[in-house]
Structure 1
Amino acid sequence: MKALLTDLYELNMVASYLRRGMTGLATFSLFVRGLPKQRGFLVAAGIEGCLDYLQDLRFDEDEIRYLGDELKFPQRDLEAFRQFRFTGDVWGVPEGRVVFAGEPLLEVTAPLPEAQLIETYLLNRITFETTIASKAARCVIAA
């Protein structure tokens, strides 16, 4: 159940974009706006896991059934989710690279519905793993 590692907002936006034919390319950049003074850098992590996720991303039949039965998405949306595959391009810094506020860790260019659907997963995965890697680097520096 990988495709449902998102939130209802993203699913509703994807369905809305598809209904309205809003499928042009969009580019999203994942970056940190600012850091506290005592934390002047981050160590990028989670990028490779995100690439693996995107490569295999699709809705399985259990997820389609859940979207219809529990979340009440109409049949046309369910069919769109059933056909979903990520076709976009991704650029990311290498794992372990030091990055600073304002620098992109990851950029995605994809049809708008695809880029929208993956936002929550990418934010959660990269934020968590980058936080852990950055804390580990600070522990080593302090030791």
Structure 2
Amino acid sequence: MIREEQVFIGSHLFPPPYCIENSLKKLVDMYNVLKLNGTDRIVLSSWLMYQLLALHPFSDGTGRLSRHFCSWSLLSNGSILPISFGNVKGVNKGHKTLIVCVQNSRSNVGIPSALSTRILLSLFNSLNNLDSKQKQ
């Protein structure tokens, strides 16, 4: 359910509720334009995840839904595996590092390069896990 109250985390204030519906429509339109223009799937998926987190459209579950949409975007654009943002090889405290990546993206004018790197690492680890299970 789309939130009806103002939310914040620390000193960061998210967009007011009256902006959410129109912002979601713009997000979908922009996603489709970026996809049609051939934007790299990692860049596109991290952009989508970041934009959902920046908008924070739901009272509960925004983080989980943004991770699901990220996986959906990757899978619908040619990736062969969904990704896990939990603890993975090379990343300690998976959820906390994901939050830091989002915060870095916020301070970098919405350019989610740290988030893209985190997604690449998660994909790499998913493939390694699959490969090691197939060898067993």
* TM-score, normalising length: structure 2: 0.32
Instruction: Work out which of the two has the higher radius of gyration on C-alpha atoms and give 1 or 2.
Output: 1
- Normalised by the length of structure 1, the TM-score is 0.30
Q: Per residue, is there more helix in 1 or in 2?
A: 2
